[in-house]
Amino acid sequence: MAQSTKYIFITGGVTSSLGKGIIAASLGKLLQARGFSVTIQKFDPYLNIDPGTLNPYEHGECYVTDDGAETDLDLGHYERFLNVPTSQNNNITTGRIYNNVITKERKGEFLGKTVQVIPHITDEIKCNFYKLGEDGKYDVVITEIGGCVGDIESLPFIEAVRQARWDLGPGNFLVIHLTLIPYLKAAKELKTKPTQHSVKQLLEAGIQPDILVCRTEHPLPSEVKKKLALFCNVQLNSVIEAMDAESIYDVPLLMKKEKLDERVLSKLKLSSKSNIDLETWKDFLGKLKNPTQEVTIGLIGKYVSLPDSYKSIIESFTHAGAAVECKVNLQLISSEEINSENYQSKLGELDGILVAPGFGERGFEGKIETVRFARENQIPFFGICLGMQVAVIEFSRNVLGLDGANSTEMDPNTPYPVIALMEEQKKIDQMGGTMRLGSYACDLKKGSKAAIAYGKTKIQERHRHRYEFNNAFLEQLESKGLIASGKNPETGLVEIIELKNHPWFVGVQFHPEYKSTVLNPQPLFVKLIQAALDNKKNK
């Protein structure tokens, strides 16, 4: 392990979903703004090897990296804040750790020793803690430990953190504990006891937190901070208040005001490489909070009751909206509730429509109705992954007259499989079933809507899908005005479709939302918002 690399561990207590990922990303942003190279990794205590098989209702969206890893949605926050790509090494689960250890045991690598949680599982965890710091690329590696202190699942991770303090030595290791200070309305009082208990559990596991970050709905009076410092054995200036923020993008500035980065630098004996530069971040926030116009865009999908299922898409609208100083009122509409009778009342007030990605046939016909409505009424439309496939199917049925046209995912016996598993794809990809995952190249047609949006003709975008556009139908579709404007240069697979005589009708096979960041808003989202603004003016 490169000893020049500093390691910060972020644990959570009292309850989950306190925002460890946002605190990790905000701290990373502040250190980056001071000139340090930073990466963030997430260790998840569940037994799935990766989140790829998890229902979005259970765990929110599955985020995909350039190298094709299916990861936790917190990695999306890391990339959006830091503008630095992550990889499969940035997200490790208990399942992966045990899988690695058991594979080694089966190969005889432990030389007949009894394989145990300590040292074998904890050694494997530590090995993954240090992996990103080993090549000397990063000054600071921030590690977020998922779940809550005290959970049975996270015990091996907490033990590995305890051991890491001795491996790394003083000045190279830091623990930040994120906790909740609840406010009891009846007593009109902020309560520190849950935090005391949470820190006590950490201490029982042999870890003394260096900094406490306290989530709260009310400002923390100095006597509450003093009490926390005294009972939790931390310095008074290391008790950091984290008030609920209007936007997650406010959090870096709030943490700067609370001097979180300064406390971290002093404890890690780091001197700032440069003056903190957050000007572009402040510009973004200024535009985000002071829009000059607004539009209403419908996000049509089947997981709308848990917005985290579409986290990257929602954040892409935030980035793109700020870029054009426009407030995007996003309406999440369940595709299961849309049918041929009610589509006008459900969709009629929208300035633009996005049909979301997804798997399976639930809500599929509702998506078909949505696309037809957008196509026939010249409403700006953007289809992502399944959304693009739905657009092809709708056009095939209603314009080409191919009755029963479908994807072989929905109907294996469709007479017109306009979306299907490609033979060549079956041969290429033996990993993860037939899923195409990670970053692939795409060549854009000069002058197409997509090429104009990107401002170039060669792009790289991330994929997560099984079924492809069936090129056997390409000529027929193009003859009626549905153009393939983006193709994979190696396989010839269609990546982008668009309609000729429509203000903005674009479908993409990839997931553009995964690469949208605060500093680089995704161009297709920017163009959709601009088209929706034009549509609103022309109404």
What digits encode the pLDDT tens for the residues 17-34? 788 999 999 999 999 999
Of residues 440, 413, 428, 437, the one with CA closest to residue 496? 440
Q: Which of 385, 442, 498, 502 is catalytic?
A: 385
- The confidence score (pLDDT) of residue 302 equals 86
- Indicate if 513 belongs to the active site: yes
Q: For residue 469, what are the contacts with CB-CB under 8 A and spacing of at least 6?
A: 389, 392, 418, 419, 484, 493, 494, 497, 509
Burial of residue 38 (number of CB atoms within 10 Å: 0-12, 13-18, 19+):
buried
CB-CB contact of 284 with 249 (8 Å): yes
Residue 267: pLDDT over 60: yes
Annotated catalytic residue within 120, 465, 502, 511:
511
pLDDT of residue 453: 95
Confidence of residue 343 (pLDDT cuts 50, 70, 90): confident
Domain residue ranges of the chain, discontinuous segments joined by +:
6-282, 291-538
Name the pLDDT band for 68 (thresholds 50, 70, 90).
confident
How many other C-beta atoms lie within 10 A of the C-beta of residue 118?
11
Count of beta carbons in the 10 Å neighbourhood of residue 232: 23
Percent of the chain with pLDDT over 70: 96
CATH topology of 6-282 equal to that of 291-538? yes
What is the architecture of the domain spanning 291-538? Answer: 3-Layer(aba) Sandwich (3.40)
Integer CA distances (angstroms), 19 to 36, 246, 325, 504, in order: 23, 14, 27, 37
Least confident of 5-9, 77-81, 303-307, 395-399: 303-307
- Of 70, 468, 498, 513, the active-site residue reads 513
Sequence ranges of the binding site: 16-22, 57, 74, 144, 151-153, 191-196, 227, 245, 358, 386-389, 409, 466
Q: Which of 417, 425, 392 shows the shortest CA–CA distance to 497?
A: 392
Q: Please enumerate, by residue number, every residue annotated as part of a binding site for Mg(2+).
A: 74, 144
Q: Tell me the average pLDDT of the chain.
A: 90
Residue 385 among the catalytic residues: yes
Q: What is the pLDDT of residue 273?
A: 74
pLDDT digits (tens, 9 = 90+) for 114-171: 999 999 999 999 999 999 999 889 999 999 999 899 899 999 999 999 999 999 998 9
Coil/strand/helix, residue 505: strand
CATH class of 6-282: alpha beta
The reply to whether 159 belongs to the active site is: no
